Amino acid sequence: MSAELLALGEFLRARRNVTQPEDAGLVREPRRRVPGLRRDEVARLAGISEQYYLRLEQGRNIRPSDQVLNTLARALRLDADARQYMFRVASGDLPNPEPPAAESAERIARVLRQWTHTPAYVSDSNRDIVASNPLATNFGHGGLATGSNVVVDLFNERMKRTLVEWEPMVRSSVAGLRRDANPFSPRLTELVEQLSAADEDFVRLWARYDVSGPEDAHIHMVVENVGTMEIDVQNFAVRSMPGYLLTVLSAPPQSLTAAVFASMAAALDPSVR
């Protein structure tokens, strides 16, 4: 059994368990014993034999055709991101971004430093931060500093206390990590083990195999002795660094957040106005 086929089997099983009969146009019988669809239901919806589908979930040494994968995507109601992930895993065509060239990394770091009133950072496919400006480092209490990890920071107790939209944000973050990271990367394995040992919520979300791209968001953080800060979180691909993501935390004009960012910027560099 290859690692790719085992990963495909885990993905199919997880998505089957979260796909409800009603989602697939089936009638829910009373006293169902499975959380989602049964294997025979998926096989029937996909037009393949139950035995063949069972072998796929078990990671047996069979490589499904694109036609079979397409029918499974329809049966499991996969969206574009999840479908693309399934095809990548099945083919072994997995993301493995190269470390950025020194010139590109320095250029993006220089740009970030010039954004004195806007926290911003760049992360790789494992959401390890490779560049961060002083305001992001300071505002994130070190959790958004170069060398930190965005997902690890989201699961700490401080973020659980202060981030009003914590559940949707971690759900989106975990789904983005699933989509962008190489599932066989030693670094991803290390991250998953670290987070699984520390937080049951991560275990629950990771087991769902949700797959989606990074989502922009409007969030609220309740900060002691400050108040409720509104922040727009926006994500951008870095063309000069394929596989890397630029995240910008911006403040609505004339808001409490804008005032806090301006005050922090002045404290970091008195010449900043």
Pairing of strands 129-132, 120-123: antiparallel
For 238-270, how does the pLDDT look when each residue is reduced to its tens digit (9 = 90+)?
988 888 999 999 999 999 999 999 999 999 987
Q: Does 99 score more than 90 pLDDT?
A: no
* Average pLDDT of the residues in 123-150: 93
Reduced to 3 states, what is the DSSP secondary structure of residue 150? helix
Q: How far apart are CA 87 and CA 248, in angstroms?
A: 31
DSSP-derived letter for residue 92 is T
Confidence of residue 273 (pLDDT cuts 50, 70, 90): low
pLDDT at 16: 98
> Is pLDDT above 70 for 272?
no
Structure confidence at residue 213 (pLDDT): 85
Domains and CATH numbers, the chain: 3-91 (1.10.260.40), 102-268 (3.30.450.180)
Residue 97's pLDDT is 65
Mean pLDDT of 53-79: 95
**Residue 142 clears pLDDT 90, i.e. is over it:** no
Q: Residue 93: which pLDDT band, with cuts at 50, 70 and 90? A: confident
pTM comes to 0.91
Helix (H, G, I), strand (E, B) or coil at 193: helix
Given a cut of 90, whether residue 105 has pLDDT beyond it is no
Q: Measured between alpha carbons, how far is 24 from 56 in angstroms, rounded to an integer? A: 20
Phi, psi for residue 148 in degrees, rounded to 5: -85, 175
pLDDT, mean of residues 116-139: 95
Give first-to-last CA distance, the chain, whole Å.
61
**What would the pLDDT profile of 193-220 be if each residue is shown by its tens digit?**
999 999 999 999 999 999 998 889 999 9
